[in-house]
Structure 1
């Protein structure tokens, strides 16, 4: 059920450098990579910027121009992230998305990371994606997601990666963390294994029958992974390590969950029904137009029934997003060297899952 992405046949081979970068001291390894990738750059002229927003990997930009237009990004995989990221598939994701103009140039892989093109622009915050006055939050993000989802639309044999990921994360939590945990705060934040196992079985049975299409998803569309390019008047998505075939409604529901933020989570900021319906209408218009190219894309109509069905699916699949990232955060709490309270974050996501479950399961689609 992995739903592996197929590497595009026209994609060029990606350069692979046998260099390892120390995630606790990125600079020396980054400069070593730059000497290989940009041999004409004088090392003493190379400027660097360490980005601190990410909570999975370490990221550094290396550049010589003040406007960073020539920047090369060096992304170093976080400790033990191979437990929940399939790096081979990530590379295929990158190449497929690049082939469809949904990703930057990929310069090379190295032993524990990637180097790729910097996309200049503004990384969005929760206030941008939820402000209805801000065209960014609605039309542009919805359209870019529709563009990605339409890449392999109508693929009847595609399998979602959601259940494989959930089972994998839960197995690690079950075997590596909770059973061996002496940490009392862990048991306070996390429901019992029996409860979690029951919820996992219930989710697969309930969500699988909702009829959400399987499409190529980003699967991690938090606000900082959306770059607004004012001069081009568009947005681009970054960071594809969790990308893969999945339920359309999961990707959107996961994005709506991210309206609440990451560092200071506030689910009062989760979009209301009216906000969601505006967003979803933009999305469906773009998705139908892009995935019905054989009909010329003319005369696309989004019915109230379609809109309502997607609204219900999205809010129900948002439950799986809470559960997935709660398990992910427990694994990160055990292994990550990044300064973030993963255990508290896991507790917040599990709490929201159980609060939202009775609300969203009561939703009914228009007849």
Structure 2
């Protein structure tokens, strides 16, 4: 039986642009006492790829008494297995890592509220708190069948630019049919692709897969795929001989993916979209790069912080 079998599911789709009207019915299924109350929707974070809102009635003192709704980016199912994500979150909940899922719908889910604030990546204590949470996360043993490894996930993204991803090809055709009257008749290839996989909120006229291929003729995706294979060989040849453990990694070390509740002294993880089996060092290196951002020479953490 699936880990999400006992979670209520409604076969409806929420329009994020009409959230207040399209989500009200579902909210009242979770919180029947809110039927006659005005509901407040507050967007969490600034990442358009992770659409989260806190939802709470206006007569409550603050939003911690509410719930959280996540709406999947449009067409994100071409690169993310949302059902597997839900099953992971449900298991993480039982380990005290993730919020409880209250209800799912076609393009998202409601969960219990997560207390906490985003920490400053410039503060040393932030690194300590995140490293402790990460060590706890890496130590969890889950029943995770057919879980993709990190290299497989990388190849999935590369396939977005090739003919291997049939789902994306079909979506591009659908989008073109829907948006032939779009104002933007000459979108860039990356704008088109971002629109197709839900990372672009501005409607664009979709290119066919052949047009995408033509515009990408100078980009050697085959070479890039080969380089990923080379990375994998380095992992297997050099890292495995040192007995580095392969664990379930976040693969998303963005500082906004962590919330700290200073009152209860607890750290929470928000998003699990990119979880996969990986060498634990990859998460750590990813966090170092998150600290450095675009100024690697000046911001990459010094040795005492790395330790």
TM over 0.5: yes
Q: Aligned-pair distance for 1:195?
A: 3.0
In structure 1, the gaps of 5 or more residues are 1-5, 278-367
How has the CA–CA distance of structure 1 residues 36 and 12 changed in structure 2, closer, same or farther, with 3 Å as cutoff? same
CA deviation after TM superposition for structure 1 residue 194, in Å: 3.9
Q: CA deviation at 1:138?
A: 2.5
Checking the alignment, whether the CA contact within 8 Å between 1:30 and 1:74 is kept in structure 2 is no
Q: 1:17 to 1:159 in 2, by over 3 A?
A: closer
Q: Is the Cα contact below 8 Å between 1:160 and 1:247 reproduced in 2?
A: no
Q: Secondary structure at the match of 1:73?
A: strand
- Aligned with 1:199 (options 218, 227, 244): 227
What is the TM-score with the length of structure 2 in the denominator? 0.74
SS at match of 2:33: coil
Deviates more, 1:228-237 or 1:20-29: 20-29
Q: Does 1:275 align with 2:263?
A: no
Does residue 161 of structure 2 align to residue 173 of structure 1?
A: yes
Distance 1:145 1:15, change over 3 A: same
Contact 1:93–1:244 (CA<8 Å) still a contact in 2? no
Match of 1:107 in 2: 102
Q: In structure 1, what is the equivalent of residue 64 of structure 2?
A: 69
The 8 Å contact of residues 257 and 271 in structure 2, kept in 1 or not, is answered as yes
Which secondary structure does the structure 2 equivalent of 1:63 belong to?
strand
Counterparts of 1:27 and 1:121 in 2: how far apart (Å)? 24
Task: Measure the CA separation in 2 of the matches of 1:159 and 1:30.
Answer: 32
Matched, 1:144 2:133: yes
Q: Are the equivalent residues in 1 in contact too, given 2:291–2:299 (CA < 8 A)?
A: yes
Partner of 1:129: 121
Query: Aligned partners of 1:105, 1:193: CA distance in 2, in Å?
Result: 40
- Matched with 2:252 is 220
8 Å contact 2:289–2:300 — kept in the other structure? yes
CA distance in 2, matches of 1:24, 1:245: 35
Structure 2: 5+ residue runs without aligned partners? 164-168, 170-192, 194-208
> Partners in 1 of 2:66 and 2:213 — Cα distance?
45
TM-aligned CA deviation for residue 82 of structure 1? 0.7
- Cα deviation for residue 163 of structure 1 reads 2.0
1:270/1:174 CA distance change after superposition, 3 Å? farther
- Once the two structures are superposed, what CA deviation does each residue of 1:123-142 show, in whole Å capped at 9, x if it has no partner? 23xxx23422xx2x222111
TM-score (norm. length: structure 1) = 0.63
Equivalent residue, structure 2, for 1:252: 284
Aligned-partner Cα distance in 1 for 2:107–2:72: 6
RMSD across aligned C-alpha pairs, in angstroms?
A: 2.8
SS of the residue aligned with 1:180? Answer: helix
Q: Secondary structure at the match of 1:69?
A: helix
Assess if the C-alpha contact under 8 Å between 1:214 and 1:246 holds in 2: yes
Rate the CA distance shift 1:114–1:91 in 2: closer, same or farther, 3 A: same
Structure whose residues are more often helix by fraction: 1
| Distance in 1 separating the partners of 2:147 and 2:24 | 40
Residues 247 and 279, structure 2, Cα contact 8 Å, conserved in 1 = yes
CA distance in 2, matches of 1:60, 1:17: 19
Instruction: Please state how far the C-alpha of 1:95 moved relative to its aligned partner.
Output: 1.1
> What SS does structure 2 have at the residue aligned with 1:92?
helix
SS of 1:253's equivalent?
helix
Displacement of 1:96 after TM fit? 1.3
